[in-house]
């Protein structure tokens, strides 16, 4: 397995959506290829940091304001009950 | 395990019941759906549009559009996936309007695979997120993800930030599964490459390997 082959499978490997024989091949490659080992770990860390960082949280006061606006528009466009 | 499965099933049934009630004009049922997902829709919209006011508009417009078009929701997919699809389209429209000189499309595939190949292989500090104050770290992460093409950024936010499955992401973006996987890989590799300069181990640091 070359480094290029490894990179192609990296997403499936990190998402654990890979069959066991390919997984073994990838792990064999990781055991001796320091570059791919570093790329794999730092990519994994990239995903974790973004997942945990809560970059764009909706403040509660704005959230309430948006909910009121949405629901008042829905009410004014209330559809007749269908059976 | 069985308990978890039952809970997932219950949540899906419960959601479908809310959608059915909203279809009959029950605004309170729709309110429950809004409260369930407005934070997610705001995050997605803000990631795509990169503009707070646009993101607020998208939240309102997407829910309103969903309400008005509930009849078209067939229940083949999750309500949330269907809602995300509406919100992504609204967000892309906002983005196009702001950048009237540029075409923004989920089909944009401007960079070749070679462009995503790692150029620099540097190991990172053990806890890179602790190298910066929280506000600084958030600025770095925002700036970095904003530098990705919209098509990569959108796939990344749905899969890795919001946790949609590959299949759900493909459905929400009307892309094939291989296209989602290819964009996700390239988005992840490009972000990693761009974060190198902030997170890599200092040269000649403590001498440990």
Query: What global pTM score does this model have?
Result: 0.87
pLDDT 10s digits, A3-48:
999 999 999 999 999 999 999 999 999 999 999 999 999 999 999 9
Instruction: Return per-residue pLDDT of chain B as tens, 209 residues.
Output: 566 566 666 666 788 899 999 999 899 999 999 999 999 999 999 999 999 999 999 999 999 999 999 999 988 889 999 999 999 999 999 998 887 645 566 665 555 555 567 777 888 988 888 899 999 999 999 999 999 999 999 999 999 999 999 999 999 999 999 999 999 999 999 999 999 999 998 765 544 44
Residue A25 class from Cβ within 10 Å (0-12 exposed, 13-18 middle, 19+ buried)? middle
Q: State the residue for tokens 């049934």.
A: B13
Distance, CA of B4 to chain centre = 25
Give pLDDT, residue B159. Answer: 97
Give pLDDT, residue B116. Answer: 63
pLDDT 10s digits, A37-81:
999 999 999 999 999 988 999 999 999 999 999 999 988 876 545
Give pLDDT, residue B112. Answer: 54
Distance from first CA to last CA of chain A, Å, rounded?
61
Residues of A in contact with B64 (CB under 8 A): 70, 73-74, 77
- Minimal Cα distance from B49: which residue of A? A56
Taking residue B12's Cβ as centre, other Cβ atoms within 10 Å add up to: 13
Which residues make beta-bridge pairs with B200? B124
Closest CA to B82 of B180, B171, B175: B171
Neighbour-count burial for B66-77, b at 16+ CB within 10 Å, e otherwise: bbeebeebeeee
Provide the shortest C-alpha distance from residue A24 to chain B (in Å). 20
- Minimal Cα distance from B50: which residue of A? A56
Give pLDDT, residue B204. Answer: 59
| Calpha distance B90→B97 (Å, rounded) | 11
Q: 3-class SS at B106?
A: coil
Provide the shortest C-alpha distance from residue B12 to chain A (in Å). 23
């Amino acid at each position: 397995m070359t480094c290029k082959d490894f990179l192609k499978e990296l997403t499936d490997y990190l998402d654990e959506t890979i069959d066991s024989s390919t997984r073994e091949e990838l792990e064999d490659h990781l055991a001796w290829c320091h570059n791919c080992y570093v790329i794999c770990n730092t990519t994994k860390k990239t995903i974790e940091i973004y997942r945990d960082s809560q970059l764009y949280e909706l403040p509660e006061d704005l959230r309430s304001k948006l909910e009121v606006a949405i629901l008042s528009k829905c009410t004014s466009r209330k559809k007749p009950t269908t059976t | 395990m069985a308990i978890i499965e039952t809970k997932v099933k219950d949540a899906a049934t419960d959601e479908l019941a809310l959608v059915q009630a909203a279809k009959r004009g029950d605004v309170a049922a729709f309110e429950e759906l809004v409260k369930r997902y407005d934070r997610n829709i705001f995050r997605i919209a803000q990631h795509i549009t990169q503009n707070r006011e646009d993101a607020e508009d998208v939240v309102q417009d997407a829910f309103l559009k969903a309400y008005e078009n509930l009849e078209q929701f067939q229940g083949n997919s999750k309500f949330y996936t269907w809602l995300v699809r509406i919100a992504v389209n609204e967000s892309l429209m906002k983005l196009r309007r702001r950048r009237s000189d540029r075409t923004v499309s989920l089909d944009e595939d401007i960079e070749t695979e070679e462009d995503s190949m790692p150029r620099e292989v540097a190991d990172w500090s053990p806890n890179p997120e602790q190298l910066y104050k929280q506000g600084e770290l958030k600025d770095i992460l925002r700036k970095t993800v904003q530098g990705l093409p919209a098509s990569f950024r959108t796939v990344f936010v749905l899969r890795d930030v919001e946790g949609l499955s590959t299949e759900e992401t493909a459905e929400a973006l009307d892309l094939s599964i291989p296209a989602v996987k290819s964009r996700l890989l390239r988005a992840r590799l490009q972000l990693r490459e761009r974060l190198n300069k902030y997170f890599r181990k200092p040269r000649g640091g403590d001498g440990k390997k």
